[in-house]
Amino acid sequence: MNKKIIIAILIALLGASLRIFLNEKVAIPNFEAVTSLSLLAGSFLGGIFGAITSLLMIFFSDIYLGNTQIYLFTWSAFLLIGIFGSLIKNNSRHYILKASGLGLGSVLFFYLWTNFGWWLLSGMYEMSFLGLIKCYIAGLAFLKNQMISILIFIPVFSQIFSFFSQKLFYRKSETKAVKQPL
């Protein structure tokens, strides 16, 4: 349990740092690592840890970057994405493909939910179905960048997490045939 807490904090700090760096230095809208890290934290650490890790990433980075009036939509989306991660087990066959697929689904969820929040609260669009559609169309460029980032970050971070989780959470048994949790 203590290892999970430490790892959750380290992932949260990594995610916050990457969010700030990618926002400030790379400056490609919505090219980010938080969705991938949230999903993988949920997968490797468990749903509640994924949710908490997600919120910590957003909290720490929002201290520096700030947020908009839709922060409740943003924060709740990342919280749920962290929980979604627990749907896939990190030792399953074709894990990277499953994680990438769930990552793309998470991006679509994030896009639909946060753009709905923007339509509802920003005052930029008329409060009609047509206004909502216009809001979704305007967000397509952000969706594309977020999908590209998922396809890059999920494979990279899943390999890193797999390596460290085997080193931290399992010890060799006497027969070396079966891994047993610590």
Question: Can you give the pLDDT at residue 169?
Answer: 59
Which one-letter DSSP state was computed for residue 116?
H
Closest CA to 150 of 110, 109, 111, 100: 100
Cβ atoms 118, 135 nearer than 8 A? yes
- The full set of domains in the chain, from first to last, is 2-167 (1.10.1760)
Percent of the chain at pLDDT above 70?
Answer: 90
Beta bridge partners of residue 27, listed in sequence order: none
Give the confidence band of 168 by pLDDT, cuts at 50, 70, 90: low
- For residue 173, pLDDT over 50 is answered with no
Angle between helices 47-65 and 71-84 (to 10 degrees): 150
pTM value surpassing 0.85: no
Percentage, residues of the chain above pLDDT 90: 59
Q: Which residue matches tokens 């840890």?
A: 49
Question: Which tens digits make up the pLDDT trace of 98-129?
Answer: 999 999 999 999 999 999 999 999 999 999 99
The region, left, alpha or beta by phi > 0 then psi within -120 to 50, assigned to residue 119 is alpha
Comparing 118 with 162, the larger pLDDT belongs to 118
Can you tell me the distance from the alpha carbon of 17 to that of 66, in angstroms, rounded to the nearest whole number? 14
